[in-house]
Structure 1
Amino acid sequence: MKAIVLEHRGPDGPRLADIPAPTRPEGGALVRMLAASVNRVDLYMRDSGAGITHTLPQVMGVDGVGEVLEAGPGSALRPGQRVILYPYEFCGRCRHCLAGDQPLCTRARIFGEHRDGTFAEVVAAPETALVPLAPDTDAAGAAALGVAYLTAWRMVFGKAPAGPGQVVLVQGAGGGVAHAVVELARMAGARVIATTTGAEKIAHFRSLGVEVIDYRAGDLPKAVQALTGGDGADLVIDNVGEKTWGASLRSLARGGHLVTCGATTGAHPSADIQRLFVRQLSVHGSTMGGMDEFRRLIRAFESGAIRPHIDSTFPLDQARAALDRLEHPARMGKIVLTIAAPTEGRP
């Protein structure tokens, strides 16, 4: 089968290769992949991979959508059934799994990080990581859910849930996770303020009814204060990291919450501890979401309540170009790799 294999670090590390198809594992299924999305972790694996237990060469890709090729005896899955992959292999036995918080599983293995991933024609996955989809579900849109939208779901509805009457500030809203946060926070009924730059991105968010601050135009906290009558934002979503951290803290209302899931510009900003305790601010780390959250996200998607914004699609053999696009400043929303056409007669 064909797959995108990371052979070594660097932009020329990923390559299209012919490798043996996997065999079905016990308690698992084989999935014929239709589409997969490109995520920041794919760039991290390509360029560093530091801190992640893995061995090269390795198939890249964390999430995706496919059709069941083969399932085990007694399985509830059937060949041809459309499924979405939950990005984690989880043990189901540790205290975190038993509490329904699979991202904290002490034995978790993530596709494309700790094991072969989804940029392949066929993927072997445990059945616990496969969730059925409606047969007419848009594969490209659903492929964007597994990492970006699930991460955004927990950030919006997790420890400091957004809702009507609240102000949510989203830093760098053009990114995949941040754009998903904008959509979900609006779905929750919150007032959303997005930071971005560039005429096209500003126009895009304004067309959605979102207030926009051009982060290159001046003092961001002052702009937030001006829009909120001096109060600030109840919830700030920041996956940019060091470059925006100080402005994010200063944009919070008293008693507000900052939620982070990334540090693309650096991981060691000033903690600003005095501001934290004087204003009683909270900082929450967030990564992915549990299976129950994933199922709720899928229901929201299939109902039409959310519609992932797809920046561009690339065929599997152009994965390098897709990764390059992910780094481009003009990119907005998700990038998807199309791997195979659905079975004849299905969308």
Structure 2
Amino acid sequence: MKAILFKSPTSPLVVEDIKKPKATKDQVLIKLKYAALNHRDLWIMKEQTQVLSEGIVLGSDGCGVIEDVGEDVDDLWIGSEVVINPSLDWGENPIVQGDKFRILGFPDHGTFAEYIVVSKKYIFEKPEHLTSEQAAAVPLSALTAYRALFSKARLRSKERVLITGIGGGAALWALQFAVAYQAKVFVTSGSDEKLAQAKSLGALGGYNYKDPEWAAKAEKDSAGFDIIIDSAGGNDFNKLIEIAAPGGRIVNFGRTAGNISELSTRLLYWKQLSVLGSTMGTRDEFLSMLDFLESRNLKPVIDKVYPLDQVKEAFQRMETGNQFGKIVLKIS
């Protein structure tokens, strides 16, 4: 089967023929139709120092059809179109992942291939209102946004929400989820075009973070945010502390702008703010997320679809930061 292999940060991604996997025990063999890129894949390629002589198949998101099953799986699954929950071995504690937790696509082979085998506990029927292409753009980013917004921040209707860095998959899901939940949503971006696109999805306002006065404008418009969903971190994180409303919740799940270098401790305690970290989510949250999508007929924003052999171009687009929505690979 064809697969995209990552071998080391100094080696480009290559499309090679590797052995087709076989389903055993509780596993299913999925013939993948589409997969989607995540910033996680980019971080792995930049930061993984280990040389992998045989290569690893990246990719956490995928949608396809079950072609075969192991001996402990009902044959009725064969022919079903499914999506994959990439949050593997979360553990027993819903508050935090356990020691065995990992994300599909590293160190386990992921979805940038024609086939994948996964345990049956990580497969779910494709939502009927989504195409295969759309379904592939759901799992990692939608799960991340759902946990951040509902489990961590505990969003309530009519609350004022700020989502930073709009344009990426998780940020866009957070926007759609919050709008569907009747929140008052605002966004930031370094692109005026992306701000306009976010408003078309229901954002009430947007701020270009390249403007030195953006935080003051946001605070004036909102009188402070009840919830801030952040995937950037970096030097501007302290501005989020400043514009959070008293009793506000700030949830972070990324570091696209680097580590946080400054924090106003006085504002943190005087406003009685909660700063919460979040990563992926549990099986129950994945199920609740899919139910939320279906009940509200929500669909992912797709930026662009590339054939498998143009994966380098796909990652180049992600690295430039020009995308608005998920970047998807067509596999079969």
TM-score bracket, normalised by the shorter chain, equals over 0.9
Matches within 5 A, 1:154-193: 154-193=147-186
Question: C-alpha deviations, 1:138-175, integer Å up to 9, x for none?
Answer: 11111111111110001110122112221000111112
The equivalent of 1:131 in structure 2 is 124
| Cα distance in 1 between the residues matched to 2:131 and 2:321 | 27
Q: Deviations over 1:242-269 (max 9, x none)?
A: 1331111111011111100001121242
| 2:307 matched residue in structure 1 | 315
Normalised by the length of structure 2, the TM-score is 0.93
Measure, in 2, the Cα distance between the counterparts of 1:47 and 1:236: 28
Equivalent position of 2:69 in the other structure:
71
Supply the distance in 1 between the matched residues of 2:128 and 2:269 (Cα, whole angstroms). Answer: 51
User: 1:326 and 2:279 equivalent?
Assistant: no
> Which residue of structure 2 aligns with residue 265 of structure 1?
257
CA contact (8 A) 2:127 2:135 kept: no
Contact 1:169/1:233, CA 8 A, preserved across alignment:
yes
Return the letter of the residue paired with 2:256: T
Q: Which residue number corresponds to residue 35 of structure 2?
A: 36
Structure-2 separation of matches of 1:258 and 1:268: 13
Letter in 1 for 2:147: R
Determine helix, strand or coil for the equivalent of 2:236: helix
- What is the CA–CA distance in structure 1 between the aligned matches of 2:152 and 2:329, rounded to whole Å? 32
Aligned equivalents of 2:91 and 2:308: distance in 1?
33
**CA positional deviation for 1:53:** 12
Q: Does structure 2 retain, via aligned residues, the 8 Å contact 1:195–1:214?
A: yes
Which residue in the other structure is 2:101 paired with? 108
Matched residue, 1:221: 215
Q: Which amino acid in the other structure matches residue 319 of structure 1? A: V
Percent identity reads: 31
- Alpha-carbon spacing, 1:253–1:134, altered in 2? closer, same or farther (3 Å): closer
Of 282, 287, 294, 2:286 maps to 294
SS at match of 1:242: coil
Length-normalised TM-score, structure 1: 0.89
CA distance in 2, matches of 1:279, 1:304: 34
- In structure 2, what is the equivalent of residue 57 of structure 1? 55
Segment drifting more, 135-144 vs 106-115: 135-144
Q: What's the offset of the Cα at 1:133?
A: 2.2
CA deviations over 1:36-60 (Å, ceiling 9, x no partner): 110001001111126x998861111
Conserved? CA contact 1:182–1:192, under 8 Å: yes
**Partners of 1:162 and 1:55 in 2: CA distance:** 46
Q: Which residue of structure 2 lines up, in the alignment, with residue 84 of structure 1? A: 83
> Using a 3 Å threshold, how does the CA distance of structure 1 residues 256 and 318 change in structure 2: closer, same or farther?
same
Contact 2:129 2:294 in 1 (8 A): no
- Change in Cα spacing, 1:79 to 1:171, as seen in structure 2 (3 Å) is same
Q: CA deviation at 1:209?
A: 3.2
What is the DSSP-based 3-state SS (H/G/I as helix, E as strand, rest coil) of the residue aligned with 1:324? Answer: helix
**1:207 paired residue number:** 200
Contact 1:220 1:247 in 2 (8 A): no
Q: What letter corresponds to residue 47 of structure 2 in structure 1?
A: S
Residue matched to 1:345: none
Partner of residue 224 from structure 2, selected from 223, 232, 235: 232
1:143 to 136, 139, 144: 136
Partner Cα distance (1:284, 1:18) in 2: 43
> Structure 1 CA distance, aligned partners of 2:52 and 2:173?
29
CA contact (8 A) 2:31 2:66 kept: yes
Aligned residues: 330
Q: Which string of whole-angstrom CA distances, capped at 9 and with x for unpartnered residues, describes residues 294-325 of structure 1?
A: 11222233345311100111111111111111
Q: Quick one: distance in 1 between partners of 2:93 and 2:51?
A: 25
The separation in 1 between residues aligned to 2:129 and 2:153, in whole angstroms, is: 34
**Contact residue 164 and residue 189 of structure 2 kept, 8 A:** yes
Name the structure 2 match of 1:344: none
Hey, what does 2:5 align to over in structure 1? 5
Against the structure 1 CA distance between its residues 303 and 138, is the aligned structure 2 distance closer, same or farther, given a 3 Å change threshold? farther
